[in-house]
């Protein structure tokens, strides 16, 4: 963003940048830069996916992966709860008209099964969301989770002292558990406005 002039853009969107903005100080630095390039009255939106996978029923392999992932984050000094503080970071860097929403999204194609409903009430007016749309969303988020598992392998094996074979076996079963345990994740949305210039 350093190459963008001051007050040059009306809108900035950031998505899935929690890791590159860790630790918290990086968030503050980036948001100051965003404020610099936004025109007065411009908006920022931030979308992040919660790191925690929630389940309706038992999912021991998903839970095992979560423990390994937490161990990795702790070892490298990253706070996995940082994404829940973005509204504070926005306020601390001078943004106003803050908005924060959380939406539950399925992980897996389980919403298409007869008689299933999302466990969370975070989805507004579920009657307008078709099971097919939720199935497609679940498929995409399961793919995202699988990529997260794949990308984390070498670090988790090293930092959590797990063999590659144990890791791959656990991940394979964990992915199956996404459907059987009706797994879901929370998608976080933040919006804020750079203060407009006050009329004199």
Whether this model's pTM surpasses 0.85: no
The pLDDT tens digits for 167-187 are 999 999 999 999 999 999 999
CA triple 30-19-145, angle to 5 deg: 140
Q: Is pLDDT of 166 > 90? A: yes
Domain 9-193 -> CATH class: alpha beta
Among 50, 61, 20, which Cα is nearest to 162's? 61
Q: Is 49 helix (H, G, I), strand (E, B) or coil?
A: strand
The pLDDT tens digits for 23-40 are 888 999 999 999 999 999
Domain boundaries, the chain: 9-193
Q: Is 51 helix (H, G, I), strand (E, B) or coil?
A: coil
- Distance in angstroms (rounded) separating the CA atoms of residues 174 and 168: 10
| Residue 143: predicted pLDDT | 94
- Distance in angstroms (rounded) separating the CA atoms of residues 27 and 175: 31
Confidence of residue 78 (pLDDT cuts 50, 70, 90): confident
Q: Is pLDDT of 14 > 90? A: yes
Average pLDDT over residues 48-61: 92
């Amino acid at each position: 963003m350093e190459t963008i002039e001051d007050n040059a853009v009306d809108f900035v969107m950031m998505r899935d940048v929690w890791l590159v903005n860790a630790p918290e100080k990086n968030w503050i630095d980036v948001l100051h830069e965003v404020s610099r390039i936004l025109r007065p009255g411009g908006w920022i939106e931030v979308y992040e996916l919660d790191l925690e996978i929630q389940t309706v029923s038992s999912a021991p392999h998903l839970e095992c992966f979560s423990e390994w992932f937490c161990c990795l984050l702790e070892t490298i000094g990253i706070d996995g709860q940082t994404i829940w503080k973005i509204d504070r970071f926005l306020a601390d860097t001078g943004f106003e008209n803050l908005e924060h929403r959380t939406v539950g999204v399925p992980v897996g194609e389980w919403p298409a099964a007869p008689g299933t409903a999302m466990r969370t009430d975070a989805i507004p007016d579920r009657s307008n969301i078709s099971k097919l749309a939720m199935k497609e969303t679940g498929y995409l988020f399961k793919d995202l989770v699988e990529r997260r598992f794949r990308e984390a392998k070498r670090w988790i094996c090293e930092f959590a002292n797990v063999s590659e074979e144990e890791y791959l076996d656990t991940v394979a079963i964990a992915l199956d558990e996404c459907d059987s345990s009706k797994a879901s994740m929370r998608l976080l949305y933040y919006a804020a406005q750079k203060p407009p210039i006050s009329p004199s």
